[in-house]
């Protein structure tokens, strides 16, 4: 089982940056992202794959869930399950752990950096949020959209929630989720994941945006949020009623429809 190797990841994703970074900085970053803790989980549970690994990881971390609205789902339907994105990584793993036994086949669209968690590669569909998409990844994603037996989980925000207007919430959702639903003839299931990262994480992101920094420092901190902040937490998941893809007609633009969908997801928490 391949373990997470941050130095190799940086060398692969940003070779020019790797040449500039001294070794001590790499070692500090490894501690920052809790590389040793993640590799310990992979070593102990890596013989599991997909949903089985996600469940084992959640249980080992002492994470529990309450799911409301599971009766709204039909395991034989074709869905695009759409959710807010409060945690930026562990919420996707949580959904796999929760729905992996219910649906015969389920995949979640994630930042391609999560593909370095090898036991979860079979349930992840990678998307490069920082640059151009690989042609192979786009073909794999399109194949999943057209699949008759695969349920898809999507986070239209693309990035995890931020502290905006005095509360933790998603950034603007991407309208492409509406087009994808209609084109693939998948009903949309609105979902809401009740959870949050640390106050330090949101504060740092707020400062970054105020200073106009382009470098997404929060992305580096997400693994630590997963291994430290999420540990021993109880998360609540709310599942709404499926919305037929025909509902997204020409009475609104895709931008208006995705804003409406975002509001429907957030309403579920009440």
The CA R_g of the chain, rounded to the nearest whole Å, is 18
More confident residue, 97 or 204: 97
User: In this structure, is residue 15 part of a structural domain?
Assistant: no
The pLDDT of residue 111 is above 90: no
More confident residue, 259 or 217: 259
Counting residues of the chain whose pLDDT is more than 70, the rounded percentage is 97
User: In this structure, is residue 219 part of a structural domain?
Assistant: yes
Helices vs strands, H then E, count in the chain: 11, 9
The pLDDT of residue 214 is above 90: no
Sign, CA dihedral 7-9-11-17, equals negative
* Dist CA 227 CA 109 (whole Å): 21
Look at the chain and report how many structural domains it folds into: 1
Q: Per residue in 231-240, pLDDT tens?
A: 999 999 999 9
What are the distances in angstroms from CA 37 to CA 28, 44, 73, 110, 228? 14, 11, 35, 21, 10
Instruction: Assign 131 a pLDDT band (cuts: 50, 70, 90).
Output: low
The pLDDT of residue 130 is above 80: no
**Mean pLDDT of all residues in 184-197:** 96
Range of the domain at 123: 51-267
Sign, CA dihedral 196-197-203-206, equals negative
Q: Is 111 exposed, middle or buried (0-12, 13-18, 19+ CB in 10 A)?
A: buried
Q: Which two tokens stand for residue 244?
A: 């037929």
User: In this structure, is residue 180 part of a structural domain?
Assistant: yes
**In degrees rounded to 5, what are phi and psi of residue 232?**
65, 20
More confident residue, 167 or 258: 258
Of 237, 225, 227, 236, nearest to 60 (Cα)?
227
Q: Which two tokens stand for residue 4?
A: 């997470």
The pLDDT of residue 213 is above 80: no
pTM score, two decimals?
Answer: 0.91
Q: Provide the mean pLDDT of the chain.
A: 92
pLDDT of residue 215: 66
User: In this structure, is residue 72 part of a structural domain?
Assistant: yes
The pLDDT of residue 155 is above 90: yes
pLDDT of residue 128: 79
User: In this structure, is residue 235 part of a structural domain?
Assistant: yes
The pLDDT of residue 79 is above 70: yes
Sign, CA dihedral 250-267-240-230, equals positive
**Mean pLDDT of all residues in 95-121:** 93
User: In this structure, is residue 25 part of a structural domain?
Assistant: no
The answer to whether the CB of 93 falls within 8 A of the CB of 57 is yes
The pLDDT of residue 251 is above 90: yes
CATH number at residue 167: 3.40.1130.10
Q: Per residue in 3-48, pLDDT tens?
A: 889 888 888 888 888 888 899 988 998 998 899 999 999 999 999 9
Element (H, E) at 174: none
pLDDT of residue 87: 93
Instruction: Assign 2 a pLDDT band (cuts: 50, 70, 90).
Output: confident
User: In this structure, is residue 24 part of a structural domain?
Assistant: no
pLDDT of residue 185: 96
Sign, CA dihedral 66-71-75-78, equals negative
Please state which of the ranges 16-30, 141-155, 183-197, 241-255 shows the lowest mean pLDDT: 16-30
């Amino acid at each position: 089982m391949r373990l997470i190797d941050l130095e190799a990841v940086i060398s692969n994703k940003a070779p020019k940056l790797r040449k500039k970074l001294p070794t001590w900085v790499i070692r500090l970053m490894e501690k920052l992202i809790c590389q040793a803790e993640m590799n310990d989980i992979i070593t102990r549970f890596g013989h599991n794959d997909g949903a089985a690994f996600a469940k084992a990881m959640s249980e080992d971390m002492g994470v529990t869930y309450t799911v409301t609205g599971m009766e709204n789902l039909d395991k034989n339907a074709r869905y695009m399950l759409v959710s807010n994105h409060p945690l930026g990584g562990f919420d996707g793993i949580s959904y796999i752990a929760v729905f992996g036994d219910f649906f015969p086949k389920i995949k979640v669209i994630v930042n391609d950096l999560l593909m370095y968690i090898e036991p979860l590669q079979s349930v992840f569909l990678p998307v490069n949020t920082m640059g151009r998409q690989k042609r192979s990844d786009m073909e794999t994603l399109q194949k999943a959209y057209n699949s008759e037996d695969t349920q898809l989980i999507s986070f239209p925000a693309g990035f995890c929630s931020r502290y905006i207007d005095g509360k933790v919430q998603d950034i603007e959702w991407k309208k492409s989720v509406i087009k994808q639903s209609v084109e693939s003839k998948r009903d949309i299931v609105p979902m809401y994941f009740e959870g949050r990262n640390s106050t330090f994480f949101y504060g740092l992101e707020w400062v970054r945006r105020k200073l106009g920094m382009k470098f997404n420092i929060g992305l580096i901190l997400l693994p630590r949020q997963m291994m430290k902040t999420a540990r021993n937490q109880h998360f609540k998941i709310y599942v709404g009623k499926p919305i037929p893809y025909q509902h997204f007609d020409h009475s609104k633009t895709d931008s208006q429809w995705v804003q409406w969908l975002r509001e429907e997801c957030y309403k579920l928490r009440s």
